[in-house]
Every structure is written in structure tokens, then in C-alpha cells.
Amino acid sequence: MLGNSLSTLLLAAALAAPTAPVLAQAPTPPAISADGTLLSVSATGEATRVPDVATLSAGVVTQAADANAALRANAAQMNRLMEAVREAGIAERDIRTSDLGVSPQYRRGDGQAPQISGYEARNTVNLTVRDIADLGAVIDALVAAGANQVYGPNFQIGEPGEAHDEARRAALETARARAELYGQALGLRVRRIVSISEGGGFAPRPVMAMRAMDAMESSPVSPGESTVSVNLDVVFELGR
């Protein structure tokens, strides 16, 4: 009995004892040779492509004396717009409503409180056009169907993976060339890469070419070029 009681007391004491905090271990610094020197180099690589995807937004704004009338008029006009979007070949996955609402409009007079003069309804969709050759015709169809607000286009690279890899190689070559330059200046050579850290970005450079058009022509657009960039922070080990 005494042994059992003692075991119980020891177990209770162990459970009640505060648990020692687990300390996070700091990252282990890279191991280098005794005669080695670490050099950190930042470099940027770029790759240029002609964009093959465009995004734009189109919408309808209507006004009426009361909110219900403004919304009904907007819905009728927006339904025609959506029919035109689908007839232009835009897939459902590339159509997304971005703004839908009704708000009062105010009349302001000198020395008087603002008075509601009517209501405005708005409905806007974001569209992705995956064949830029159709972009001008799509814009024309939107306006013909009743869109009174069109913003864009913004050009993108649909599959930027290959361009990113090209930019990575260019950044790495630049980083190595700089490391070798520093090494030569110090009488050292580049032994190895210790670590690589990557950051990146997409820097579009669209050039829109607008010109006068005949009645039968579609709106002219030009995607220009887009540049994909990758930033690398590379740590080299230098030595003799």
C-alpha cells in the first residue's frame, strides 16, 4: 500500500510540474572552409514575351427616378450585354461579376441640404479574352450591346513558366559573373554557391496603338511586349 501511494504522489507531482519551454532553434549558418569568404550578390534576370491573354471590365450604368426602375433598366441592358459576351466566345470561367449595386444621386443647392434627385444602378463584369486577335471585336460587341463603361485592356502572359525559367537563368548568370568579378579583384576564386533566394515580378509594358477606324473595322489594339523578371539573392563562397 505504501509503495502504491508513493507512486501515485510521484506521478501527480510530475504532472503538476511546469513544462520547460521549447526554444526555437535559429537557422544553422552555412558551413564554410576556414579560409573561405562568403559573398552575397543580388541580381535580376528578365525575359520578354508578347502577351497572349487580355483582361478588361465592362458594365452598364443606368439612372431613374426610383431605385427599382433604375435596377430593372440596368438588368435588361445587362442581359443583352451578357448575351453579347457569350456570343463573342467568352467562356463562363472567364466571366466574373465585380460590381453590382444601386445608390442615390443627390442634388445640391446653395445653402440647402442635399436632396435625392434619383438613383443609379451599376453592374460590371471582369472578362478574360484568351485570343487577343478577337479583342477588338469583343470590345465592339460589348459597346454595341449597351456597355457604357469599358476599362482596360490589361495584357498578360497566359503561361509564364518558360519565361520565368529564362529569367532565372539570366539572373543566375549575372550573379555568378559579379561574384567572379569580386573574386578576381580580391585574388580569390568562386568555390561554390552556398544559398539562393528568389523573388520575382511581372512587369507588363503594353503599348496600345489606337487609330481612326472605318465603320466596318473593329477597335484596333496592340499588346506590345511584357517582361517577366526574377530577382535572386545568391551567396557564394570565395577562396584561394
For 30-50+160-239, CATH number out of 3.90.79.10, 3.80.30.20, 3.30.110.170, 3.30.950.10 equals 3.30.110.170
Q: In what order do the strands lie in the sheet with 95-107?
A: 95-107, 115-129, 53-64, 149-156
**Cell numbers representing residue 137 in the block:** 471585336
Quote the CA–CA distance of 61 and 120 in Å, as a whole number.
Answer: 7
Query: 139: number of CA atoms within 13 Å, CB side?
Result: 20
Q: Which residues of the chain, if any, have pLDDT below 70?
A: 1-32, 200-217
pLDDT digits (tens, 9 = 90+) for 58-70: 999 999 999 999 9
Listed by start position, the domains of the chain span 30-50+160-239, 53-155
Question: Under a CB-based contact definition with an 8 Å cutoff, are residues 90 and 128 in contact?
Answer: yes
Q: What is the per-residue pLDDT for 221?
A: 84
Q: What is the per-residue pLDDT for 210?
A: 32
Quote the CA–CA distance of 209 and 219 in Å, as a whole number.
Answer: 10
Question: Under a CB-based contact definition with an 8 Å cutoff, are residues 104 and 115 in contact?
Answer: no
Identify whether 30 is preceded by a cis peptide bond (ω within 30 of 0).
no
Q: What is the per-residue pLDDT for 208?
A: 37
Identify the architecture of domain 53-155 in CATH: 2-Layer Sandwich (3.30)
Question: Under a CB-based contact definition with an 8 Å cutoff, are residues 62 and 74 in contact?
Answer: yes
Q: What is the per-residue pLDDT for 199?
A: 78
